[in-house]
Chain A
Amino acid sequence: MMDLSQQEQFDLDRLAEDLGALPEAPLSMPVQALESPLTQSVFNLFRLRLHLPEPKAGH
């Protein structure tokens, strides 16, 4: 049996979802190129020279 207070919260959440729904009007957004083979090579060289460590997990 569902708890009444949970039920109320569920209804409010559904209501917020319904009333808050964004308009559906898609617009394409092509991903931009920011790296070239040259920039990647420079970065890789930099990493090797500095021996940059891997970040901590969860960073």
Chain B
Amino acid sequence: MTRSAPLQRRVILTRTLALGASLAAAYGGFLLFLQFGAADGLDSFDILRSALIFASTFWLAWGAITALAGLTTRPPLPPRHTGALTARTAILVPVYNEDPVATFARIAAMEASLRRTGMGHLFHFAILSDTRDDAIAARERMWFLRLLADTDGEGRIFYRRRTKNKGRKAGNIEEFIKRSGAAYDYGVILDADSLMEGATLVEMVRRMEAAPALGLLQTLPTIIHARSRFGRTMQFAGAFYSPIFARGLAMMQGRTGPFWGHNAIVRMRAFAESCALPELSGKPPFGGHIMSHDYVEAALLARAGWTVRVDDDLQGSYEEAPENIIDHAKRDRRWCQGNLQHSRLLLAPGLKPWSRFVFLQGILAYIAPVFWLAFLAASIAAPLFAPPIDYFPIESWPFPVLPVSQVSKALGLAIGVVGLLFLPKVLIVLDAALRGRVRGFGGALRATQSTLAELVLSSITAPIFLMFQTRSVLQVLRGADGGWPAQSRGDGSLTLAEAWAASHWIVTTGVVVLGAAQWFAPALVLWLLPVALPMVLAPVLIAWTSHPSRSGLFLTPTELAAAPVMDLQDAVLTRWQMVAADLPEQVADLGARPARA
């Protein structure tokens, strides 16, 4: 209590400052735009656009202040159990139509990494298959036997396939806990593409052991194995910026931290007591099973009095990510639906206020692009509804009175918005240079170049994401299913034709926006070019960014020196690819052994 009380005060102070500063920035943006819009007479469009600027600026400022909180605060070192460990942990690997060779090679690597710690006997793996494709399921069983043979993992590595995937991933884990949960103190929840160092897994258990009220401990997974231009940009951004944002988030969330669905450890009893999710009344997308279950499980743990924490200092936690914009947008479509569904839970009984606020943030993250687009549309339409300028407002004055130009206000607002977008990243580069963190990114010069390149690339692709997110929101509100025409190949690269098929509607929108602006508000064309031009060029950008990157930019620590568990994974994959043809004979040897009781 003596330790947590000051920490809680810091958390409340950080939240208050962040909220206050974000509201102040939003109000500043609102006022600036209102003055700009009122220069030729105030109308309802000016008020609407100012309100949209308020909401959008608030969201931008919130992100920037999270980074500032991460740069200026250092959470205290978490307590850890240093004695002998006896707790048993199940590592849960839910799979759903994934390539079993790649997934099981990761399990073999983690198993080998755990053995190196001398604690491997305390960890079991459970492969929880929800695979619907029978051919893939047959391969899963085959490669499971190979995994057992390779690791001598009988009795420590389990495999089961559900006949019905009720509740999807959350239901898959729930089914495991109902059947086997009492055998374990902790559960590490992974995704099929997760990879974690054995030492990290052991350290997570030590931290759970030292904090009996800790219900869930989340790590910050680092993206690895990216190959495309888009993938490597995301990988760099994740490795370079995310630790700072995560620390800021940790300082604001305190005991009501996040769960991102994977690469986290849960106290089995706490999770079982608190996290069985109900089906929401009504039909999808707002009813039915809860899609983004992780945020809800974190909120439910907090509701039951358990601490949920993210420890940004935990290294050795990895994941893989989409290699192109289309795959990213597909995933984002799912997340969009999940986050908008959380609007049903804003008033759920008993939740902590911060949990409700986290739901609101998730909703805002998807609604904000719609606000920006609405702002653009309102700006193009505004001249149609603006009252004519009265050059002779004073009856007895014979000379015209010209309206005072308020362009400086618009420029100030634009600079403020750009500053909110770029300043956190610039500060992160400076911080990394001062602390020597740039070494892992190729040095100060290379890290700076990579940051600048990332800023350019993310600015160019932002309008494309804005369009995909807006479409997702509209689809969810219509209750429509999100179909996607383009299919990426194994390496994620897309042809121009595939990119066109997925984004021609963005091109059309871009052309219409520019045409409408030229027709109704020619003065706006130049301002709109940074948004409309990338929309017109969307297929080219999508295809180009999906191709392999050979640039020296975007170096990350795991590219410069692969993590030990990544080396283990590579070794397993190489070995398995060599023996793939002889697999049935090799696994048949297992049949001679007596089956486990």
Residues on A lying within 8 angstroms of B by beta carbon are 8-9, 11-13, 15-36, 38-40, 42-43, 47, 50, 52-56, 58-59
Contact = CB atoms under 8 A, between A and B. Distances in A.
B274 A32 contact: yes
Contact of B284 (A27, A39, A59): A59
Given A21-B596, A29-B178, A32-B300, A52 B479 contact: yes
A12 B145 CA distance: 8
Given A18-B595, A20-B144, A22-B176, A53 B272 contact: no
Contacts of A56: 479-481
**Which interface class (under 10, 10 to 19, 20 to 34, 35 or more) fits B?**
35 or more
B158 A53 contact: no
19 contacts: A9-B138, A15-B591, A18-B595, A19-B596, A20-B141, A20-B158, A22-B126, A23-B183, A24-B180, A27-B272, A29-B178, A31-B276, A32-B275, A32-B300, A34-B278, A34-B290, A42-B347, A50-B477, A52-B286
B370 interface: no
B301 to A, nearest CB: 10
Contacts of B138: 9, 13
Nearest to A11: B591
Q: Which of B141, B159, B276, B345 is the most central at the interface, judged by chain A CB atoms within 10 Å of its CB? A: B141
Contacts of B145: 12, 15-16, 19
Given A33-B278, A54-B479, A56-B480, 15 more contacts: A12-B587, A13-B141, A16-B142, A16-B159, A19-B148, A22-B126, A22-B158, A24-B179, A25-B179, A29-B178, A34-B280, A34-B348, A43-B344, A56-B481, A58-B481
B160 interface: yes
B424 interface: no
B158 A29 contact: no
B584 A8 contact: yes
Contact of A20 (B160, B277, B347, B481): B160
A16 B286 CA distance: 39
Contacts of B277: 31-32, 34
A29 B290 CA distance: 16
B550 interface: no
B552 interface: no
Nearest to B337: A59
A35 B272 contact: no
Contacts of A27: 177-178, 180-182, 268-269, 272
A38 B183 contact: no
Nearest to B141: A16
A40 B345 CA distance: 10
Contacts of A15: 145, 587, 590-591, 595
Question: Which 5 residue pairs across A and B have the least CB separation, nearest first?
Answer: A27-B181, A20-B159, A25-B183, A16-B141, A25-B182
B160 A21 contact: yes
B72 interface: no
B323 interface: no
Nearest to A20: B159
B101 to A, nearest CB: 15
Q: Which of A9, A34, A52, A53 is the most central at the interface, judged by chain B CB atoms within 10 Å of its CB? A: A34
Nearest to A39: B347
Interface string B584-597: 10011011000110
Q: Which of A17, A23, A26, A52 is the most central at the interface, judged by chain B CB atoms within 10 Å of its CB? A: A23
B285 interface: yes
Nearest to B157: A20
A53 B478 CA distance: 7
Contacts of A50: 477
B281 A34 contact: no
A19 B171 CA distance: 23
B349 interface: yes
A59 B285 CA distance: 9
A39 B348 contact: yes
Contacts of B286: 43, 47, 52
Contacts of B435: none
A42 B347 CA distance: 9
A27 to B, nearest CB: 3
Contacts of A59: 284-285, 479, 481
